[in-house]
Amino acid sequence: MAAQAQLEAVTWHLKDAVAGLSAENFEAANAAALRALDLDEKCGVAWHGLAIAREKLGDLSNSLRCYQAAHDLLEDPELVAGDLGRLAYRLNMKDAAETLFRRVLEQNPLAVEAANNLACTLKDLEKYGEAIDVLKTALSHTPQDPSLWNTLGTILSDQGDLQTAMIFYEEALTHDPRFSKAVYNTGKIKLLTGDLDGALEDCNTALTMKITPDEAAMMRLARSSIQLCRGDLKAGWDDYEARLDPLFSGGTQFAINRPSWRPQTDICGKTLLVIGEQGLGDEILFGTVLPDVLADLGPNGQLVLAVEQRLLPLMARSFPGINLGAHATYDINQHSVRLVPFVTQPDKIDYWTPLASLLRQYRTSLDAFGKTGPLLTADPARIAHWQAVLRQAPTGPKIGLLWKSLKMVGARNNAFSPFALWAPILQTPGICLVNFQYGECDEELAWARSELGIEIWQPPGIDLKNDLDDVAALSCALDLTIGFANATTNIAAACGNPVWLISPPDAWPRLGTKHMPWYPTAEVFVCEQPGDWAPTMAEVAAKLAKIGQTGANA
């Protein structure tokens, strides 16, 4: 009788857990699954329900453990393999996710969700052909499924075929007009093709539909880019706060137990901790607000600034007198968490803020930009050193070149021109091309040499990736830097040096303009149509040719 009563109680709690999951009340589902496990810790179904609830609540690490327990306890562990694969995907364990989704399809070739998830995983692994084959097979069985058409669209979009991608998104919406991901993705295409009003409308519509908290944060972050491209800075920076949502799987959390700074907070005479975030280039870009912050802190205030380790010498020279140190980032329970180890007396901090959040107060209109001089101060002795070294280089104005980022995967490739299209620039007579590209670039240098007969001069004795203080000095010694937005072009522009930025059509840092409000010395060359880089590169080459003809500086 006792065993029967326990079974009935477990069953009752499992029903509550299922009801909670169905109603998307994940806290209730979590509590009900735990009650069931208190009665029977070997109940695989309860572990499965708990795993789903923890995943939906953003606790990915414990969710993984729960899925593994369910997988071990259930008579048919393949029931859990799909969920495990989905979680592995969210945790950026793409190879494991591929294996798990393939296992599900081996057992059930008609499993649409597994097929779609496998295609998404293969897309992220840049196995585009395999992903399309998986989707074609699935669509032959279930052509009415909108998720398959949507994923097919994302693959074509990643490959730069925006027109066909839009056709597939629209096909998804013919099968389900309320399919939020397809609505959101049509907005992404419209952003890329310059229809900013349509992009915003689609993003707003998608946000009203049935989406998970993680998807909502991702869409708000995307909407911030649209609003910034429209020049609506206040709304854009407000939405940019979505990057801090703890349920946003791609975000960084900050382990700081002090009061948060908010716009309009009176910081005069206070101690403010500001923590750099995003990529290295973004730390510099967003750092252009720091002079404004220092002015508001006043002579009795204190700025505590945490930046990337490689920036410390350059920032120390540029901002003497501040409390400066390096932040540190760790993977804790499958979340990226940033700390400030050099702050040994946190109780002395009055307020803290991620660096980009300051834009909500200090950069709400274009008029707020360009009121201070250069952000960064390079080492005068090293500038003189590089001026002397460059005199040993081939004759002509010294032009630094950058053509890619270290992170060149998936859709990000579309933000950079193929190196072969740089040929008109590389063949400009009368100039000295200087390699300013960090990371592995031997292949491109060899191509320029063998195919064009062009030697791109290599500056000796400098680590272009890690020695950023010397990179700043070299940028000051060059006559001009040309490239896409990355860490080095940001450093050069922040030092007040001439920079020609080559920009994709949807670059939000332009803030709806044809220039770079952040950097007065940067000139922007905009690619007007996605992927059509040739006219832009020809425009740059034509203007560079004038420098080569006259020998004049930029």
Which uninterrupted H or E stretch holds 14? helix 2-22
Judge if 500 and 527 occupy the same domain.
Answer: yes
What is the rounded distance in angstroms from the CA atom of residue 522 to the CA atom of residue 525? 10
The last residue of a domain, from among 327, 345, 368: 368
Judge if 447 and 472 occupy the same domain.
Answer: yes
State percent of the chain over pLDDT 90: 69
Query: For residues 149 and 370, which has the higher predicted lDDT (pLDDT)?
Result: 149
Average pLDDT over residues 164-181: 96
The last residue of a domain, from among 346, 368, 390: 368
Instruction: Copy the structure tokens of residue 262.
Output: 């908010």
What's residue 439's pLDDT?
Answer: 87
Judge if 275 and 304 occupy the same domain.
Answer: yes
Average pLDDT over residues 268-283: 94
The last residue of a domain, from among 343, 368, 393: 368
What's residue 537's pLDDT?
Answer: 95
Judge if 398 and 517 occupy the same domain.
Answer: yes
Helix ranges restricted to H, 23-93: 26-39, 44-56, 60-73, 78-90
Judge if 420 and 509 occupy the same domain.
Answer: yes
Range of the domain at 313: 259-368
Judge if 318 and 404 occupy the same domain.
Answer: no
The answer to the question of residue 191 being in a domain is no
Report pLDDT digits (tens) over 204-257. Answer: 999 999 888 888 999 999 999 999 999 999 999 999 999 998 877 777 888 899
What's residue 77's pLDDT?
Answer: 67
Judge if 404 and 544 occupy the same domain.
Answer: yes
Average pLDDT over residues 26-36: 90
Number of domains forming the structure of the chain: 2
The answer to the question of residue 203 being in a domain is no
Judge if 420 and 443 occupy the same domain.
Answer: yes
Tell me the whole-structure pTM to 2 decimals.
0.85
Judge if 273 and 358 occupy the same domain.
Answer: yes
Using CA atoms, how far residue 186 sits from 154, 156, 189, 317, 437, in Å, is 10, 13, 5, 46, 34
Instruction: Copy the structure tokens of residue 436.
Output: 């300013």
What's residue 554's pLDDT?
Answer: 47
Q: What is the CATH number of the domain that holds 515?
A: 3.40.50.2000
